Amino acid sequence: MERVVLHVDLDQFIVAVELLRRPELRGEPVLVGGIGDPTRRGVVAGASYEAREFGVHSGTPLRTAAKRCPQAVFLPLDRDAYLAASDTFTAALRDLSDVVEEAGWDEAYLLLDTDDATRSATELRGHVHTRTGLICSVGIGDNKLRAKTASGFAKPTAGVTDSGIFRLDAENWPRTMYERPPEALRGIGRRTAARLAERGLHSVGELAATDRFTLAEHFGPRNGPWLVAVARGYDPAPVHPEPYRPRSYGREITFQEDVTAPEPLRAELTRLSHLVAEDLAAHDLLASRVVVKLRDSHFRTHSHGVRPTTPTRDPATLAAASHEALAAFTLTRPTRLIGTRAELLTSTDTETEGR
């Protein structure tokens, strides 16, 4: 018997849920976003693998997506359907393990004792498909970092395996990862990779061989050693069985015409704040910080945050904090998108205990 971490990731989740209702669209380039009308402003929330071949991904503006893939089928977002599918997915995983950590509505970690990890992963994939009708990729690892990285290799688009299962552990991590660029590591983006390249570190292996104290001089006492640890595949974080709790709840709107006056922005923030307040109330949470996001007509995105006097989910207080955050912006260009989100969430029970 061995103890392994499994990272389970549903493939093209949003699109896959829609295809359960519209099986005739399988094999077609399908895009989900907004109200499903590419002539209106909005962004892609989910893209089928067929659509991704045309360079369309989550976050692509709908109008851009329609130009890149004119034959695509556009469908509207159905948040309730995705949440219901996510709940069924999580329940299916809990059938197989008592230690399940939800990492989002379409992915989770499991801690499993097994005498055959690959067989267990195969059985898990079958169970998830039976319960949900959805396909998942499974990464097997000896910690969460390696399991998460492995599930990426298990994806249909990775071209590494056709079984939907891949394993990464201390034994095969060097030969699998060391020749890859640092961006292949979770948590390392283009900017960090560019800074590493300036110091002659162009691969995971080169980063792994670097003295962590030397790197701390350039990236800080925490980030420097962390970069080396990640390159070596080290991750001490345990699998937590607590239910998934989002780090924030937010709402936003893309205007069909750019907005130049501040009053419509304030009005939208008030409306969105009430929706966020409803989300917080549904989950019995309070917000300790309110952040407003603004995207201008040049697609530049900025944000400002404000802390209310006390944690709250009162819609008027959330709206007032959003208005205060909006006042911190210098509105030199028309606004394309505005949103507000509640962060640093706490439960009402926690607040009561604190008093």
Q: What DSSP letter does each residue of 164-208 carry, written as one string? A: SEEEE-TTTHHHHHTTS-GGGSTT--HHHHHHHHHTT--SHHHHH
Q: Catalytic one among 18, 102, 107, 268?
A: 107
- Integer-rounded Cα Rg, in Å, for the chain is 22
CA distance 276 to 157: 35
Instruction: Give yes or no for a contact between 11 and 136, defined as CB atoms under 8 angstroms apart.
Output: yes
CA distance 296 to 323: 17
Instruction: Give yes or no for a contact between 125 and 85, defined as CB atoms under 8 angstroms apart.
Output: no
CA distance 191 to 189: 6
Residue with tokens 């607040």: 351
What tokens appear for 193 in the block? 């990779």
Instruction: Give yes or no for a contact between 186 and 149, defined as CB atoms under 8 angstroms apart.
Output: yes
In one-letter notation, the amino acid at residue 188 is: I
Q: Which of 5, 6, 165, 13 shows the shortest CA–CA distance to 89? A: 13
Helix (H, G, I), strand (E, B) or coil at 318: helix
Instruction: Give yes or no for a contact between 113 and 2, defined as CB atoms under 8 angstroms apart.
Output: yes
What tokens appear for 215 in the block? 């790197």
For the question of residue 107 being annotated catalytic, the response is: yes
Strands 285-296 and 335-347: antiparallel
Rounded (to 5) percent helix, strand, coil in the chain: 40, 25, 35
Give the catalytic positions in this structure. 107
